Amino acid sequence: MRQDDDALKLSCVILTMGNRVAELNRAVESALNQADGDIEIVIVGNGADVPPITAQIPPGSKATIKTIRLPENVGIPEGRNRGVQECTGDVVLFLDDDGWYANSKVAAHIRERFATEPDLAVISLRVMDPDGGAGQRRHVPRLRAGDPARSSEVTTFLGGASAVRRSAFLQVGGLPEKFFYAHEETDLAWRLLGEGYRIEYDAETVMYHPQVPPTRHPDFYRLNARNRVWLARRNLPWVLAVPYLVNWIVLTLIRERSLSALKAWFKGFFEGLREPAGERRPMTWRTAWRMLRLGRPPIV
């Protein structure tokens, strides 16, 4: 089925470091082969050349592929922001270059939801292991993550497996570029909630992604801690920011047994306290209450 002329236009931003050629083409192909697609694809080479794209646009499709190369690796949030700047779609899908859509109905489902739910700002897709594994808890963006097949309203989302209303994204300033990696989606989510938008984890929209630990990133612990402090400093009233950070210190001490990991985490934590966090726009108590009702108060 082809989309109507007045239907919402979809764009898809894919970041790449240029080192996963086959995977990138698989991701592009899964976007091109959407049954109700005609998707505008923007591939951002984050400090690297975009590899040759062998995926073919289906005959009769109005889909397009555009590539841009950033001169250096600017990090995930700035890279995605640059991709959005190149888009013309009403809704932007963010797709990891080593992920792919599980079926050809994802685009139609996303377009329908955004067209009929004007307060919907973000859909967080369900991430599944292509090898049939149980999946990872962190891929379900809520505290009660035991049933990944259950959809729900949430307070954060997965950046590389999401769809965002472009006007809402631009309204709150996009992703915080200084973060480079980690928690940038939560910063964006909290600001969207403050503007009255909804964020949904939609188990019907499935993306496949290999099971890989986030600790594979060399600066995972440092950036995770630094950005968590920045997140609090930018978005929380001080009466909430202090217990939020204390809670995460306690949780980290309980969870981590590696001395090197703890050293890196606390190094990042103190960086977050010392270095500028960017614009501070503390959420209202109404937003905090809304998050509490959604099961994720802004102290955990």
Q: Are residues 146 and 251 in the same domain?
A: no
The answer to whether residues 154 and 168 belong to one domain is yes
Burial class of residue 93 (count of CB atoms within 10 Å of its CB; 0-12, 13-18, 19+): buried
Residues 33 and 164 in one domain: yes
Mutual angle of helices 285-293 and 184-194, in 10-degree steps: 110
What is the identity of the amino acid at 97?
A: D
Same domain, 126 and 20: yes
Is there a domain that residue 25 lies in?
Answer: yes
Question: What domain range is 128 assigned to?
Answer: 10-212
**Per-residue pLDDT at 133:** 79
Tell me: the pLDDT tens digits for 84-107? 999 999 999 999 999 999 999 999
pTM for the model: 0.95
CA distance 169 to 77: 12
Q: Cα separation of 31 and 39, whole Å? A: 7
Considering the domain architecture, whether residues 72 and 176 belong to the same structural domain is answered as: yes
Residue 141, in any domain of the structure: yes
Same domain, 74 and 88: yes
C-alpha to C-alpha distance for 97 and 177, rounded to whole angstroms: 20
CATH number of the domain at 194, please.
Answer: 3.90.550.10
pLDDT at 36: 78
Is 292 within the bounds of a domain? no
Are residue 84 and residue 26 in the same domain, yes or no? yes
106 and 62 in a common domain? yes
Structure token pair of residue 143: 């505290």
Would 291 be classed as within a structural domain?
A: no
5 inside domain: no
Give me the pLDDT at residue 4, please: 53
Could you tell me if residue 176 is inside a domain?
Answer: yes
User: Which residues of the chain are under the pLDDT cut of 50?
Assistant: 1-3
Taking Cα atoms as reference points, which of 92, 150, 94, 90 lies closest to residue 118? 90
- Domain-located, residue 103: yes
Q: Which of 212, 235, 265 is the last residue of a domain?
A: 212
pLDDT for position 1: 37
Same domain membership, residue 116 and residue 94: yes
Same structural domain, 228 and 109: no
Domain identity same for 104 and 246: no
Structure confidence at residue 145 (pLDDT): 86
Polymer length in residues for the chain = 300
Long-range interactions of 250-253: CB distance < 8 A, separation 24+: 252/225
Q: How many domains does the chain have?
A: 2
Q: Which of 190, 212, 234 is the last residue of a domain?
A: 212
Same domain, 59 and 129: yes
In a domain, 3, yes or no: no
